[in-house]
Amino acid sequence: MSSPTDLTAPTAPAGAEAELPDGAEPFGLGASPRRSDALPKALGIYPYAADLWAEGLLWGAVLRSPHPHARIVSVDTSAALAVPGVHAVVTAADLPSVPAEDLAEAPADRRGVADRPVLADGLVRHHGEPVAAVAADHPDTARLAAASIVVEYELLEPVTDPEQSFTCPPLHPDGNLFRHLPLRTGDPEAAGEIVVEGLYQVGRQDPAPIGAEAGLAVPRPDGGVELHLSSTDPHGDRDRTAACLGLEPDRVRLVATGVPGATADREDLSFQVVLALLALRTGRPVKMTLTREESFHSHTSRHPALLRYRHHADAEGRLVKVEAQILLDGGAYAEVSAEALAAAAAFSVGPYTCPNVFVDAWAVRTNNPPAGRMRGEGALQVCFAYESQLDQLAARIGVDPVEIRRRNAMATGDPLPTGQAVTCPAPVAALLDAVSTAPLPALPVDDPDSEWLLPGGPGGAGDPAAVRRGIGYALGMVHMLGAEGEDEVSTATVRVSGDHATVICAAVDAGQGFATLARQIVQSVLGVSEVYVAPVDSDQSVAGPSARGRHTWVSGGAVERAAVMVRHQLLQPIAANFGMSVELLTIADGKISSYDGVLGMPVTEALEGKELWATAQCRPHPTEPLDENGQGDAFVSIAFCAMRAVVDVDIELGAVRVVDVTVAQDVGRALNPRQIEDRIEAGVAQGVGLALLEDLRTEDGRLLNPSLTGYRLPTALDTPEVRIATLVEDRDVVATFGAKAVSAVPAVTAPAAVAAAVRAATGLPVARLPILPEDAISA
């Protein structure tokens, strides 16, 4: 670790992944090797940013706004500076004025990237927005000093209803509308014999990572700074930090530490920049570890949504026209609201065919907490709405919920409402058949020993006679990689020396298992069992953010191409010696063999005394922005999922227990079956959390429950048994190894499936998430 200051942590460098010594471990693609970070994480010795230390360390703390909307009249830092042990206090005035051209990659106001300031400058636009920061010699001193900063506010009326954003005065110089996306396909005069309508709401779900945000900044002799963060986008964070500080990117180095959970952006911009600014101001290392409450204020959450739908169908239930209005609350700053809106509009009909689609989708600014990236952003909200509509349509025409979906199921070659043909495998009907024919779980036995199986558990379930079982179905879809012209690229280097290989790729393993996959790729291509994945930092070539399943495809593709180039270097002289082409040699089970069986050489023997390396890039085919009518080839590929949820509902108390979730998923190719099953189970758990428990509540823009006691997460007792009915392996020919991302689509589908099951058990409409007890009480 190149740094002007020695850093120490409990074990080896965070992010390092090396081959386990167990020689019997499964090998290569298609196997399910054990993650090499699994044991240290289970033992609690895996190093994270919160574990780092440096000589001369100072501690940082942030003062946050107690108001959702206010004008800053004055900031008095004198009391904080007078606290013994305080070394620096910074406000927006201490950030450099950055020329606009230096922020061209992300247009900004004077003090931040995009539309979000690093520290509030003149106005605060949401509760918890950073206003000032302190560096001191002890964390308690830093927090005490931050609390002693006197800020005079002129309170302004907060706008918390997204529908008011259209008519209220601008909350920001950029206005209140992040994006309006109209989608027009087919005949606006088309109508069906049967029409069903619905108004649906989705609440604010927080990623609630297991570890709160933490980081360490170390000043460099050249006037730059080195950041140690649990970043999921090292180069993006480096570039944004450098731009806000008025530095060249090469004077900021970001080292990715272990990521303690991430299903969204790991840190907001202000955290990184403030940390670096304090280190530069004091000339000493500065560490910051957020409290759980600060963590809720610091990162973004899922977009709350209001969705109005009208489905037209013929007498057989086949869709004729879908009309929708979709409103996403983006909160105070833009973040990824435009991207989320594109997914919501494009997938507004779901994995179903419909010739006429008319959608208006908006993402707007409010004084609520900022919303951002979270598994299936945009796609999840509309999945709940269109699946609820399908259930309503099935009830109206008197057919089974499975049958109504089967009659409308999309297939490969069908168009999206955006006009883009679905060229990837779309086995929607097969997935639906797999979950609908899977065995159902047994009914709970009505005896005292089985009380815990009922909703509410022992002492919480009312009369067992009031418990009703419901079965619900849902289909979901998500896009993979970036959309609408976003350039996706990743670079990787593979080095082989003797009997081991090293992979250098700036793709952060945020829990999705990329480091394990990289090992498997090199093992399969080169036949080398010992593979080390180097820790990630911004001195490596760009790999992009850990989002939308892109590292399996893009970074995995780069690793494969580099490994194939090394393979050619290895085999070329051997083939020449035997007078044959490289294509006639194979590597399998650690041995190089010729087509005719004459050659059978261990890979380790062929590599003895050699050092080979290659660097390669992977860039998927380009996409294009949606036009003024929502048309265009905006997505690289799509993944699909079918789900059946079984719930027990106490219809007198409104208590719900999810008994079983059965999943059939389109994975392209199962590169690591056990890891896929783990990711599906995690996605289901997150979806069940939104369906029944998770709601980051606000009142007049203020967070009401920013804690793990107030914000309810599903525990092991709330998470159902998750069964995999099938993993459909229809390979996507344009994807690396033919594989599709697996984490997001079960999280997208599970809330709709649980809602459908509660609807079936109670006979109630269930039109909002999370489902509250009053939504499940039936006479």
Q: Residues 669-706: pLDDT tens digits?
A: 998 888 899 999 999 999 999 999 999 999 999 999 99
How confident is the model at residue 449, as a pLDDT?
59
pLDDT at 268 over 80: no
Contacts 24+ apart (CB under 8 A), 99-108: 102/243, 102/246, 103/243, 105/239, 105/243, 106/240, 106/243, 108/243, 108/244
| Closest to 364 in 3D by CA, of 175, 627, 173 | 175
Domain 53-156+217-259+266-285 architecture: Alpha-Beta Complex (3.90)
**Mean pLDDT across the chain:** 89
pLDDT at 543 over 90: no
Q: Which percentage of the chain shows pLDDT scores above 70?
A: 91
Kindly report, as residue ranges, where domains of CATH 3.90.1170.50 are found in the chain: 53-156+217-259+266-285
Overall average pLDDT of the 196-213 stretch: 93
How confident is the model at residue 763, as a pLDDT?
95
3-state helix, strand, coil in the chain (%, to 5): 30, 25, 45
How confident is the model at residue 600, as a pLDDT?
81
How confident is the model at residue 596, as a pLDDT?
78
How confident is the model at residue 734, as a pLDDT?
86
How confident is the model at residue 708, as a pLDDT?
92
Radius of gyration over every alpha carbon of the chain, rounded to an integer in angstroms: 27
pLDDT at 22 over 50: no
pLDDT at 575 over 90: no
pLDDT tier, 230 (very low <50, low <70, confident <90, very high otherwise): confident
pLDDT tier, 11 (very low <50, low <70, confident <90, very high otherwise): very low
pLDDT tier, 271 (very low <50, low <70, confident <90, very high otherwise): confident
pLDDT at 460 over 80: no
| Orientation angle between helical segments 379-397 and 401-408, nearest 10 degrees | 110
What pLDDT digit, counting tens, does each position of 512-526 carry? Answer: 788 888 999 998 888
pLDDT at 6 over 80: no
How confident is the model at residue 110, as a pLDDT?
29
Overall average pLDDT of the 143-170 stretch: 97
How confident is the model at residue 438, as a pLDDT?
95
How confident is the model at residue 452, as a pLDDT?
61
Lowest mean pLDDT among 651-660, 662-671, 733-742: 733-742
Return the SS3 of 28: coil
pLDDT at 41 over 90: no
Domain 490-618 has CATH 3.30.365.10: yes
Kindly report, as residue ranges, where domains of CATH 3.30.365.10 are found in the chain: 305-483+625-775, 490-618
CA distance 512 to 546: 9
DSSP secondary structure letters along 335-398: TTHHHHHHHHHHTTT-SB--SEEEEEEEEE--SSPPB--BTTTTHHHHHHHHHHHHHHHHHHHT
pLDDT at 9 over 50: no
The CATH code for residues 305-483+625-775 is: 3.30.365.10
Overall average pLDDT of the 761-770 stretch: 96
pLDDT at 106 over 80: no
Q: Is the dihedral of CA 766, 688, 710, 717 positive or negative?
A: positive
Lowest mean pLDDT among 197-206, 256-265, 588-597: 256-265
In terms of average pLDDT, the best of 19-28, 89-98, 244-253, 437-446 is 244-253
Overall average pLDDT of the 453-482 stretch: 83
How confident is the model at residue 594, as a pLDDT?
83
pLDDT at 750 over 90: yes
Cross-strand bridge partners of residue 258: 48
How confident is the model at residue 13, as a pLDDT?
35
How confident is the model at residue 28, as a pLDDT?
77
| Closest to 10 in 3D by CA, of 258, 252, 253 | 258
| Closest to 204 in 3D by CA, of 64, 342, 334, 299 | 299
How confident is the model at residue 26, as a pLDDT?
64
Cα 355 to Cα 344, 352, 375, 426: the distances in Å are 18, 10, 29, 18
pLDDT tier, 450 (very low <50, low <70, confident <90, very high otherwise): low
Residue corresponding to tokens 């495809």: 553
Lowest mean pLDDT among 263-272, 557-566, 569-578, 678-687: 263-272
How confident is the model at residue 129, as a pLDDT?
96
What tokens were used for 465?
């006679």
pLDDT at 471 over 80: yes
How confident is the model at residue 695, as a pLDDT?
95
pLDDT at 20 over 60: no
